[in-house]
């Protein structure tokens, strides 16, 4: 049975897979300047609570297929030796994906991103996956939600 996220207990405090860097307004402003966008307020609020990591409601479904997908969110920090949402441009460039995305999560074959191609704030959420239907490497884009808040409502956990 699916138990959907309802605005509480977003982060799984028991699972910490990397060093957490605290976030404050100064760091958010610096990150937004580097990225050239305004991050959604709900995203900022969650990142201030915990700067990335495992989620209590870690699953989402793609609109066009069965099966659940697992999500964690990369942190915001300025260390060069660790993946961060500030690494988005370099990661996207390496994969030949448009630079106007902010990467929430990737395994380099699949991506969950905030899409800033047509805006500097209030991005849509896109899922990007390798498209194996062609001989050349290409990407398939699947719109997940009109806003980050709408995407949050899609997250669930499996209730026992």
Please name every residue paired with 70 in a beta bridge, in sequence order, or none if there are none.
59
Which residue from 150, 1, 145 is spatially nearest to 62, judged by alpha carbons?
A: 145
pLDDT in tens, 68-82: 777 777 667 555 555
pLDDT in tens, 5-60: 999 999 888 876 655 677 889 989 988 998 899 999 999 999 898 888 888 999 99
- Other beta carbons within 10 angstroms of residue 42's beta carbon come to 15
Q: Return the pLDDT at 37.
A: 94
Q: Return the pLDDT at 123.
A: 97
pTM: 0.88
Summarize the confidence of residues 116-143 as an average pLDDT: 91
- pLDDT-derived band at 118 (thresholds 50, 70, 90) equals very high
Which residue from 49, 25, 29 is spatially nearest to 37, judged by alpha carbons?
A: 29
Please name every residue paired with 136 in a beta bridge, in sequence order, or none if there are none.
none
pLDDT in tens, 130-147: 888 878 888 999 999 999
Summarize the confidence of residues 99-108 as an average pLDDT: 88
SS3 31: helix
- pLDDT-derived band at 89 (thresholds 50, 70, 90) equals confident
Q: Return the pLDDT at 119.
A: 95
- Other beta carbons within 10 angstroms of residue 22's beta carbon come to 10
> d(Cα 129, Cα 106) in Å, to the nearest integer?
10
Q: Return the pLDDT at 81.
A: 53
Q: Return the pLDDT at 137.
A: 81
Q: Return the pLDDT at 82.
A: 57
């Amino acid at each position: 049975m699916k138990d959907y996220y309802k605005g509480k207990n977003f982060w799984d405090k028991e699972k910490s897979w990397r060093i957490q860097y605290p976030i404050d307004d100064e760091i958010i402003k610096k990150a937004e300047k580097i990225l050239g966008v305004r991050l959604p307020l709900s995203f900022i609020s969650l990142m201030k609570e915990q700067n990335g990591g495992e989620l209590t409601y870690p699953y989402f479904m793609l609109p066009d297929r069965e099966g659940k997908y697992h999500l964690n969110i990369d942190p915001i920090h300025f260390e060069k030796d660790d993946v961060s949402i500030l690494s988005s441009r370099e990661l996207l460039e390496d994969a030949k994906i448009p630079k106007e995305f902010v990467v929430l999560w990737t395994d380099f074959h699949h991506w969950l991103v905030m899409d800033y191609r047509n805006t500097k704030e209030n991005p849509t959420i896109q899922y990007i996956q390798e498209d194996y239907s062609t001989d050349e490497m290409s990407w398939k884009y699947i719109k997940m939600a009109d806003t980050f808040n709408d995407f949050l409502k899609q997250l669930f956990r499996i209730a026992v």
